[in-house]
């Protein structure tokens, strides 16, 4: 008798667990919300690499902001622009 309750209890636990897994996997399948400004991917015009805007190095040139993956690329761009 004791065992029966234990098995039922385990089954219920398993059922709840599976249900939560199913629910979370369904959430993963949903389309992601539009990215916020900080999560936007921007392209480095020097090396062509995409970087998140919040981690990119932004340089304002004549009202246009250029985003770079590193200070190195920003310097390279500046070199090309001024030469």
Interface residue list for Zn ion (CB under 5 A):
44, 46-47, 49, 69, 73
Residue 48 or 63: which CB sits closer to Zn ion?
48
Q: Where are the alpha helices (DSSP H) in the chain?
A: 2-29, 71-82
Q: 20 vs 55, which CB is nearer to Zn ion? A: 55
**C-beta of 39 vs 72, nearer to Zn ion:** 72
Contact (CB, 8 A) for 70 and 58 = no
Q: Alpha carbon of 62 to those of 40, 71, 77: distances in Å? A: 22, 19, 14
As measured in angstroms, the least distance from the Cβ of 19 to Zn ion is 46
């Amino acid at each position: 008798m004791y065992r029966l309750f234990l098995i039922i209890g385990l089954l219920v636990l398993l059922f709840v667990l599976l249900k939560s897994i199913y629910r979370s996997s369904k959430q993963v399948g949903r389309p992601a919300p539009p990215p916020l400004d900080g999560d936007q991917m921007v392209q480095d015009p020097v090396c062509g690499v995409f970087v998140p805007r919040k981690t990119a190095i932004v340089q304002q040139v004549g009202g246009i902001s250029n985003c770079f993956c590193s200070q190195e690329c920003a310097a390279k761009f500046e070199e090309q622009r001024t030469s």
